[in-house]
Structures are given as structure tokens and as C-alpha cells.
A and B are shown apart, each in its own frame.
Chain A
Amino acid sequence: MKKSLGTVAVAAAIALSLSACGGGSGSSAESAKGELSYWLWDANQLPAYQQCADDFQKANPDIKVKITQRGWDDYWSTLTNGFVGGTAPDVFTNHLGRYGELAANKQLLPIDDAVKKDNVDLSAYNEGLADLWVGQDGKRYGLPKDWDTIGLFYNKAMLSKAGVSEEEMKNLTWNPQDGGTYEKVIAHLTVDKNGKRGDEAGFDKNNVDVYGLGLNGGGDSSGQTEWSYLTNTTGWSHTDKNPWGTHYNYDDPKFQSSIDWFAGLVDKGYMPKLETTVGAAMADTFAAGKSAINAHGSWMIGQYTGYKGVEVGIAPTPVGPEGKRASMFNGLADSIWAGTKKKDAAIKWVEYLASAPCQDVVASKAVVFPALKASSEKAAEAFKAKGVDVTAFTEHVKNGTTFLYPITDNTAKVKGIMEPAMDAVVSGKKPASSLTEANNQVNDLFK
């Protein structure tokens, strides 16, 4: 509650700040010097980026980079406050779900000229990543830094106890009617307090000890880790086109039947109730042995493999009715604040962040997949050296089974409408057909 009110306040503050912020930058000779502030939210990546900053400073002794890490919960509110108050960082990690609005509010510095002048090779990045950061106005607002896809983290001990082979896990199929082998495995991995499995007679769905599938939440508008890896195997997509679609498709029967199936897992006792997920991290409940499979993003690899005493395997998401897997393809980028006083230094730093020397450093830490193709492969090797097989994530990119994170205008408002609507469906209070009404509200935003 507090958070959402804060977001509203901040959104209003941005709107009010529009007139206050200009892109005043000093002469280029001066602005290529001094201290740059750089913000990111993921503390796990801090060591990698600190090293990038150290290397960068060695090559550019006139520029100092000060990195500030801020938890995800406060990142966006403090950032937008910074825009209003004139204290925003010169460069910051940007998210696809947010940048459309930031660009529309003229808080981001277009970097087309610099990219052209410095001959940044945009084809070196993984397919599609660089295009994501071209705004509706045709200007480029960031250079890609990393990407993520979705995979199935599973508890190896639970699988072997249930007699499910890892080969089976790698070849799951799914459809919205009977759930395919995916539902069969989930049901079999679910165990009630008496030790009865979900597919056995006498299974007590009200006293479940281990859920077959973990639940992160209702998934609001994107369903990034919750349901989009399923809904988008039916040929459905969030919007009419992406990026910059103007029509959402939550009223599509293909989507609603998928969501009905998904919500049904809770009813069958295979997935925890939505209310039990509030305040708990899905990964932590997995490590506590409360769920056997968790669909989650590749940025969580470190978290899942970091738990002591839990052996984790990673399988690709199931193959859907159209004969293919699907995963949301999300990417982050570094953007420059329009109000920066050190424009040239900021551009240098952003280009460095997006270059091979820095992305290789990031790759070597085996935390996320860098945006550059070559660095991505190095990251996969670094993960392998750590004993983690990440092909479940990289396969999506290799086979082209990704779809892009839906980028549109009004994302905050769309989320505001879809979050309660999806929660109502996943908690079983309303049927998926109720999403048609929410979809109308969403599409009214674009009229």
C-alpha cells in the first residue's frame, strides 16, 4: 500500500517536473571531466561493475565513477525523485518496463549521435536487444548491458525421490486443456502431509507439504516469470505489436484459457495459494523445501545455486501447443539522465559499459548474461566452471524462442489495472473471463 501510494506520488512529481528539467550541459571540454554518478539495483552485480569502473578510470584519469547501489524497492522512487530534485545520477541502469515513460517525460538523453560517431557496432549484441532501446520517437535511449530469459529451477533430490528423470524435465510439453506432461510432473511432485502425491488417490489438497510448482505472485501485466512462458506458446502475445503497441490482448480466449489452467493449479493443490506468497520470496520457499519446481528468471541463478544443502537443476520451459517453447526476453540498458552536467563523460561511460572489456568482466563473474553475443558465451562458460548448466536459458536465444518484454506507453497504469485483476483470478476469486473488463480499461488508456 505504502509502496503504491509512493509510486503515485512519484509519478505525479515527474509530471510536475517536466518544465523544471532541461538538458543544460556545459562545454564539452569541461563535461568530459569530473565525478560521474552511476546507479544500479542489483547488489550481486556490484563487484563486476566496480571493476569496470576501476578499469575505466585507469583509461580515463580525468573521470571518476561513483557507483551507488539501491535496492529494487526504492530504486525507482528515489530515481524519479532525483529527476524532480535535480539530484538524479548521470548514468543509471534502466528497465524496459520503465523507460518508455521516462523517455516520454524527456528524462533520458538520446545518444544516437554518439553511437554513430563512435561506431558502436549494434549487431554485436544479441538479436533484438539494441532495438529495444529505440523509443517511439525513433531516438536511442540506451545501450544494452544484459539480457534474461525464463527457466525451470528444480530440486534434484525431490525429482529423484519422485522418480522423475532430468531427461523428462528437459522435454516437458504443455497445453491449456490438460496441462500436458508439465501438469503430470507438477502433480506427481506435489506431496501432502500424509506423503500422498498429487496424482494419487486420497491426496489431501488442503494439507500440502511440498507444492509441485512455486508461485511468485499474480504476475500483473507482464507475467514475466509467472505465466508468460506458457501463455505465449499458444500464439498469444501481450500487445498488437512490440515495441510500442497500442492495444493489449488480455481478452483473447487463448490467453484466458491458459490463465484458467494456471489458476486451477492452486485449486488442485499443486501450487501455493496467492495469499501465502505475500512477503515471502519464492526462491527462499523453494530452498526451504516447500516447492519442487520454480519458474524463474536467469538473473536468479546465483540466488538458487547459492543455497547451501539444496541441489538445483535447471530445465527449459515446456513446449506449448504451437510446438515451441517460449520465454520473455528482457534486457537492461544503461541510460543517461537528460539533466546531466557531464554529458560527454556520461556517454563515454555508457559506451564503456556496453563494450566488450566491461561485459567480459561481467561475464567472468557469472551472475547475468551480458548483451554482447561474444560476452554471453563467456558468461555461459563461467557458469559452467561454477558447475551450473545454463543451457536452459541460452537455448531460448539460440533457437529464437524468445518474445520481447511488452514495451508500451502507460506501463505503470497498465500494471495498476492488471495487478488486482490478475490477483483476483489467480486467487480464485474471479474467472479468467473477468480479464476482458480489465483489458477494456487498459485499452482505454491508449485512446
Chain B
Amino acid sequence: MTTTTSRAPKPATTRRRRPFNTRRAGAWALLALAIAVSVVPFLWVLRTALSTNGSLASQSASLLPADFTLGAFMRVFGLQSPADAVAEGGSGAAIDFWLYLRNSIIFSSITTAGAVFFSAMAAYAFARLRWKGRNAVFSLFLGTMLVPPIFTALPNFLLIKNLDLLNTMLGMVLPYVFMTPFAIFFLRQFFLNMSREVEEAAMLDGAKHLRIFFQIVLPNAAAPLATLALLTFIGQWNEYFWPLLVGSQDDVRVLQVGLGVFKSQSPQGAPDWSGLMAATLVSALPVLILFAAFGKKIVNSIGFSGIK
């Protein structure tokens, strides 16, 4: 008897859930669709990367790699001889992958560290210090976000050339390393919301601005700083035009520029699609790893600053 009574409610609950379930199923289907829409392109990239170039176009409808080969990845890592690459319908160009990877890491790390640190200082000045014309200067700063980067590319290039810094890492990082208006804006919004009491208490204790900045503001802003660092790093990792202009020599050429050799080989020629896709995958990997490692922190910090 007890067993039947205990069993009886169960079908009832499942019956009650059933209409609820179809809605859930709808939601799940929508979610699955959203995942498919965002993941399928990546699968397509992978599928292209594993294909032989010469078969890609004629087997364009197949979901599986056309003539499976790892040749494209070998090309990216410079393990394939030009003759073999050309025979596979790929680019005979070789890239010095590890060297470019190193350069990319150095370039992105220096600019990220510099930009985040200096932007934090500037944002502190804009948010916590009171000085004449503060808001006017800040508006001017925000205004510079409206200037398309291409306008500053040529003057910057000539400046770097006249400083004799072409093809040096210093010349590559200089335009980015001090600050970006966006970073200052982003951090200023956060700093504005920090409680003034803590700061005042510190001042009563005799702390000056430098100490407040380093010991109170920076540690408290760890989450937004991490967010900004990651966003900047990704942006710098994908930067193409400036490194192309300034760092054309091997010892400073970054990965994104190096990958350009797969893009086009001759006028009107078809790109080395499989090489390009393999290279894109490989070059996106470090960023994906970073995102996997710090993604949660970022979501938290954005949620945090959003609620406040």
C-alpha cells in the first residue's frame, strides 16, 4: 500500500511536467540551434584545414574533409617542402611559425601590460582626482575614439620611421603601449563607483595618491583589469595593419602578418584555403586557451560592474 501511494504522485508530477517539457524542448532546440550556428563555422574551418586544396572546390558539398590530409597543418609549421605544398595545391610559402608566435606573444603582452597599467593611472586621474578642465579633457579623450585608426596610420608610420624604429619591437608597440581611450573610459566607469569612504580613510591614515592607487584602487579593480587585459590582448593578437607596416622583417613579424602568405599568391589566384584555415585555427588557439582560463572571471567582472 505504501509503495503504491508513494508511486502514485510520480506519474502525476510527470503528467504535470509534460506541457512544461515541450516548452523546455523548444528552449533546448533554440539553444541547440544557437550553438550550431556558432560552432558549425568552426567545424567548417577545421574541415577545410584538413582538406587537400585541389579537391576543395570540386567537393564543396561534402561535410567531411575533401581528400583528408594534414598537409595544411604541416605547411603552417614549416614541415612541408615547397614542392610538396604546391603539389597539394597549396602555397609553397614557408612561414617561420615558432618565431612569429614568439613575436606575437611579445607584442601582445607588452602592449597589453602597458596599456592596462597606464590606462588605469589615467582613469584614476579622471575618476578620483579633481582638477581644472578634467571633464573637458576627458571628452576630448573620448572624442579620439571616433578617429578611424587608418587616419593615424601614416603619421604614426612616418614618426616611427623618423625615430629610426622601423622593424623594431619598440616601434611596433609604441602606438599602443601607453593607453587607449576605450580602456580609460572602461576603467573610469569602474573607478567612479568605488566607495569614497575607503579612500578618505586611507587619506586620514596619511596615504598619498600613489599609495592609494597601488594599494587600494588596483587590488580592488582586479576583475575589470583582468577583463580589460584579456580584451586588449585579443585585440592586439589580431592586429594586422600596423604590424604589417612596421614589422616586415622576420625577427619582428607577428603571426597574423606571417599568415598573410596563405591569403593570396598571385594576382587573381585562389588563396591556399586549407593552409589559411589551418593557420587561422592554430593562431586562434592561444586566444581560445586564454579565454577558457579566464572566461569566468570576465563574465563575473562584467556582471559585477553592470549591477553596480
Residues of A within 8 A of B (CB): 2, 5-6, 9, 12-13, 16, 41-47, 50, 69-74, 77-78, 81-82, 84-87, 216, 225, 281-289, 296-297, 299-300, 302-303, 306-310
Contacts and interface: CB of A to CB of B under 8 A. Distances in A.
B269 A47 contact: no
Interface string B137-169: 000000000000010011001100100001100
B92 A44 contact: yes
Given A43-B86, A43-B261, A303 B270 contact: yes
Interface string B257-286: 100111111111111110000000000000
Given A47-B86, A71-B263, A81 B248 contact: yes
A286 B57 CA distance: 8
B58 A77 contact: no
Contact of B266 (A44, A81, A308): A44
Contact of B269 (A50, A281, A287): A281
B241 interface: yes
B67 interface: yes
Interface in B111-146: none
Interface in B173-214: none
A41 B91 CA distance: 11
Contacts of A9: 150, 153-154, 157
A308 B51 CA distance: 12
B59 A2 contact: no
Nearest 10 pairs of A and B residues by beta carbon: A287-B57, A281-B270, A43-B92, A85-B166, A46-B92, A309-B58, A43-B91, A43-B265, A71-B264, A43-B93
A72 B167 contact: no
Contacts of A42: 265-266, 269
B270 to A, nearest CB: 3
Contacts of A12: 154
A160 to B, nearest CB: 17
A393 to B, nearest CB: 16
A147 to B, nearest CB: 14
Interface residues of B, number: 47
Given A43-B261, A84-B161, A85-B166, A299 B60 contact: no
Contacts of A85: 161, 166-167, 248
B61 to A, nearest CB: 9
Contact of B57 (A2, A46, A216, A307): A307
Nearest to B153: A9
A78 B245 CA distance: 7
A172 to B, nearest CB: 22
A6 B167 CA distance: 18
A70 B89 CA distance: 17
A87 B93 contact: no
A69 B261 contact: yes
Nearest to A305: B54
A9 B57 CA distance: 35
B196 to A, nearest CB: 46
25 contacts: A6-B241, A42-B265, A42-B266, A42-B269, A43-B91, A43-B261, A43-B265, A44-B92, A45-B92, A47-B82, A72-B264, A84-B161, A86-B166, A283-B57, A283-B269, A284-B57, A284-B270, A286-B57, A296-B268, A299-B266, A300-B268, A303-B269, A307-B55, A308-B67, A310-B58
B90 to A, nearest CB: 8
A71 B262 contact: yes
Contacts of B82: 43, 46-47, 50
Interface in B77-119: 81-83, 85-86, 89, 91-93
